[in-house]
Amino acid sequence: MKRRNFIKNATVGGIAITGVTGAFSSVAGAAENKASNRAKFNLKYAPSLNAFREHAGDDPIDQIRFMNDQGFRAIFDNGLMNKEPALQEKIANELSRLGMDLGPFVLYADFNTKSMVTRDPEMMDMLRERMRMGLEVHKRTGVKTALVVPGQYDERLHWDYQTANVIDSMRMCSEIVENSDMVLVMEPLNGLINHPGLFLTTIPQTYMICKAVEHSHCRIVNDIYHQQITEGNLIPNIDMAWDYIAAFHVGDHPGRREPGTGEINYRNIFNHIYNKGYDGVICAEHGRSISGKEGEAAMIEAYRVADSFLV
C-alpha cells in the first residue's frame, strides 16, 4: 500500500490514522498553527529544528512551541554549534521554559579526513580546540550530549593500530570535557549506502572503544537506521551495549524516513527501551515520505502510532 493511502486508511493497534489526532482542524489563518495536541509522548522523540516549518514558520522559537503543542518533549539541532551564541541561548531558554530536552549536536564529524585514526599532532590540536568550542556551547545551552565521528579509516595502517589511536583520541577528548555535564557520544555510521570509508561502523566496535577509553564522558549514540543497514540484530545489540548508550537516532529503512515507512519495527524497539527505563532523547534524524504540510502531519502521526505500545 502506498504511504499516502496508508496515512488515510490504516489503523494500527486500534488507533485510526486520520490526520494528526485532531491537531490540524480546519481553522483559518494563524490560529491553525496554534492548534494543540497536548498528550505527551511516552518517550522523548526529538524532531529537528525546521521539521515543521510548513506549520510553524521559520522562527525557531515558534517551531519549538509548535512541537511542544504536538506532545514532543525534546528537539535536536545538528547545527547548533554554528548558530550565533545569542540564538543558542534563546533556544535553550525556551526549551527550559517548556520543560523540553535538547538532543546531541554535531561537535566533530569530518567524513573526508583521517582524524582520530592517526597520531597526527595537528589533528590532535584540532580535536582539543573542537572540544573547547563544544564546552562553550554547553555552557550557553546546557546541552548534555555532543556527537563525534572519528573520521575515515587509513588503508595504509593496520586496523588495530587505528583502533588504539581512536581510543587515545577519545580518552583525550573525554578528559577535556570531564569537568562539565556534557558527554561525548560516538556515532557508528553505515558504509554501504551513506558513508563509505569511515572507521566507525558498528555498535560492538563502538562499545569496545568505550570500554577501552574507560571514561564516563565517552558514550554511544545508537542510530537505528545506520545499524539496520550495517548489522541488524537491533534489540540484542541495544541490550549488549546498553550501559554505554546515551542517545538514539531513528529513521526507517529503506529510505531514511519516518517510522512505519520501512522494515524496522519501531513500535517494538520503542517499547523495549521504554521498559528498560530509557529517559533520554531519540532524535528523528530522517526525511519525510510525503512533502509539504501533509507530510509534516504524517510524520507526527507516525510517531503517535509507533508510540502506542502502552495501548
DSSP states of 217-285 as a string? TEEEEEEHHHHHHHT--HHHHHHHTGGGEEEEEE--TTTS-STTSSS--HHHHHHHHHHTT--SEEEE-
Kindly state the cell numbers that stand for 284: 528523528
Residues 6 or more apart whose CB falls under 8 angstroms from that of 253 comprise: 225, 228, 229, 262, 263, 264
Give me the residue spans of the domains in the chain: 3-310
Residue ranges of the chain whose pLDDT lies below 70 = 1-38
Q: How many CB atoms lie within 10 A of CB 79?
A: 11
Q: Of 60, 102, 108, nearest to 84 (Cα)? A: 60
Alpha helix stretches (DSSP H) within the chain: 3-9, 53-56, 60-69, 85-98, 121-141, 159-177, 203-213, 224-230, 234-240, 266-275, 292-306
Q: How far apart are CA 176 and CA 159, in angstroms?
A: 26
Question: Taking a C-beta distance cutoff of 8 angstroms, is the pair 79, 60 a contact?
Answer: no
Kindly state the DSSP code that residue 47 receives in the 8-state scheme: P
Q: How far apart are CA 7 and CA 295, in angstroms?
A: 10
State the pLDDT at residue 311.
74
Q: How far apart are CA 104 and CA 119, in angstroms?
A: 27
Residue showing cell 504511504: 3
Rounded (10°) angle between helices 292-306 and 266-275: 50
Q: Of 55, 47, 103, 114, nearest to 80 (Cα)? A: 103
Separation of first and last alpha carbons in the chain: 25
Helix, strand or coil, per DSSP, at residue 152: strand
Question: Taking a C-beta distance cutoff of 8 angstroms, is the pair 98, 65 a contact?
Answer: yes
CATH match for 3-310 among 3.30.390.30, 3.20.20.150, 3.60.21.10, 3.40.50.10470 = 3.20.20.150
Residue showing cell 515543521: 52
pTM score: 0.88
State the pLDDT at residue 36.
58
Question: Taking a C-beta distance cutoff of 8 angstroms, is the pair 107, 147 a contact?
Answer: yes
**Antiparallel, parallel or unpaired: β 15-16 and 11-12:** antiparallel
Question: Taking a C-beta distance cutoff of 8 angstroms, is the pair 145, 183 a contact?
Answer: yes
State the pLDDT at residue 37.
67
State the pLDDT at residue 3.
38
